[in-house]
């Protein structure tokens, strides 16, 4: 299993970023995928999940309406569109899949929201 995140960077408050996660080594289309984030000094937390058929859930009201998780099963790629970013969204963002009761993670991509 390999998960490779990209798309992070420095963005001003109110800006947008689109994160991508390229997946390989497993049957991506049949698995629920997730985005997590870990802010400095805090625990890793769930941001959003998407099932194999595209059903989504967002873990916190703070991201609902601003973040959108999607997937392209033909490209084995997971996305996270992030709009109206605030400094509180600053974190390392990780792609996740649970396969055979094992959590797999990418190395993460850093998102910094600052003026």
- Condensed to tens digits (0 to 9), the pLDDT of residues 40-95 reads 999 999 999 999 999 999 998 999 999 999 999 999 999 999 999 999 999 999 99
Residue where the block lists tokens 């963002």? 93
Rounded CA gap, 91 and 36, in Å?
9
Mean of all residue pLDDT scores within the chain: 97
Residues facing residue 93 across a β-bridge: 37, 109
Rounded CA gap, 36 and 42, in Å?
12
Q: What is the pLDDT of residue 60?
A: 86
Choose among 15, 16, 11, 26: nearest CA to 95: 26
Q: What is the pLDDT of residue 70?
A: 98
Alpha-helical (H) ranges within the chain are none
pLDDT tens digits for range 42-53: 999 999 999 999
Burial class (CB in 10 A: 0-12, 13-18, 19+), 17: buried
Size (the chain), residues: 115
Share of the chain above pLDDT 70, in %: 100
């Amino acid at each position: 299993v390999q998960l490779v995140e990209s798309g992070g960077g420095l963005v001003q408050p109110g800006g947008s970023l689109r994160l991508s996660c390229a997946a390989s080594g497993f049957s991506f289309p049949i698995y629920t995928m997730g985005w997590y984030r870990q802010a400095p000094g805090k625990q890793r937390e769930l941001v959003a999940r998407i099932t194999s058929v595209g059903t989504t859930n967002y873990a916190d009201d703070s991201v609902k309406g601003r973040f959108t998780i999607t997937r392209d099963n033909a490209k084995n790629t997971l996305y996270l569109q992030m709009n109206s970013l605030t400094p509180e969204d600053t974190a390392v963002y990780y792609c996740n899949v649970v396969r055979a009761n094992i959590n797999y993670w990418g190395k993460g991509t850093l998102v910094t929201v600052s003026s």
